[in-house]
Amino acid sequence: MLSAEERERILAEIPPESDPSAAVIEALKIVQMRSGWVSDEQLADVAETLEMSAAEVENVATFYNHIHRRPVGTHVILVCDSVSCWLTGYEDVVARLSERLGIGLGETTADGLFTLLPVACLGACDRAPAMMVDDVLYTGLDAAAIDETLARYGLNVAREEAR
C-alpha cells in the first residue's frame, strides 16, 4: 500500500495538462525507494493512482532495468552484456564477480548485501567492459578494479580470498 507521502509525490510528478501515465517511471522509483523493489500490491496502487491498468504499469516496470520486481540486495550490481562488453571481457567480469560474491547472475548474497544482474546495455561501449553498482557506473573493468569496487561497497576481499 502506498503511503500518503508516496501518493502525493507521485501526483506531483505528473506534468501539467498531460497524461498521468507520463509519470509511471518516476512513480515506480518513488515506491521502490522504500523497500528496494516494487511488490504486486504497490504496482497495483501505482496503476490506480495514475489511472492505468496494472498490466500497463507492469510492462513499464519489467522493461526498465532499474525497477526491481522482486527483493534485491542492498547493492544491485548490473553487468553489461552488450556486444562491446562481450568482446572486451564480459565473461571474465561475471566470473570474477561470481567468485568474489559466491553467487551467479540473478542471485543475491546470503547476507543480502549484493544482487548480481545482467543488463542489455549501460551505454559505455567505448569504455567496456562495464558494470553499475547502485547508480554508479564502473568501466574498463579488470580483476583489480572489480575487487576495489566490491571493497568500496563492503565486501572484504581479503577475507574472501582466505576462504
Does this model's pTM top 0.85? Answer: no
| All CATH 3.40.30.10 domain ranges in the chain, comma separated | 75-162
| Residue 17 confidence (pLDDT) | 84
Q: What is the mean pLDDT of residues 81-95?
A: 96
The superfamily in CATH containing domain 4-63 is NADH-quinone oxidoreductase subunit E (1.10.10.1590)
- Over the chain, what is the mean pLDDT? 92
In our burial notation (b when 16+ CB lie closer than 10 A, e otherwise), range 13-43 reads bbeeeeebbebbbebbbbbbeeebbbeeebb
Tell me: pLDDT of 152 over 60.
Answer: yes
Could you tell me the pLDDT band of residue 157, with boundaries at 50, 70 and 90? low
DSSP, collapsed to helix, strand or coil, labels residue 75 as strand
Q: Is the dihedral of CA 138, 98, 117, 83 positive or negative?
A: positive
Closest CA to 111 of 155, 49, 161: 155
Tell me: pLDDT of 15 over 90.
Answer: no
* The three cell numbers locating residue 125: 561501449
| Residue 158 confidence (pLDDT) | 53
| All CATH 1.10.10.1590 domain ranges in the chain, comma separated | 4-63
Q: Does 3.20.20.140 match the CATH number of domain 75-162? A: no
28-51, pLDDT tens digit by residue? 999 999 889 999 999 999 999 999
Q: What is the mean pLDDT of residues 85-105?
A: 97
For cell 568474489, the residue is 100
Tell me: pLDDT of 160 over 50.
Answer: no
Do the Cβ atoms of 79 and 116 come closer than 8 Å?
yes
| Residue 159 confidence (pLDDT) | 46
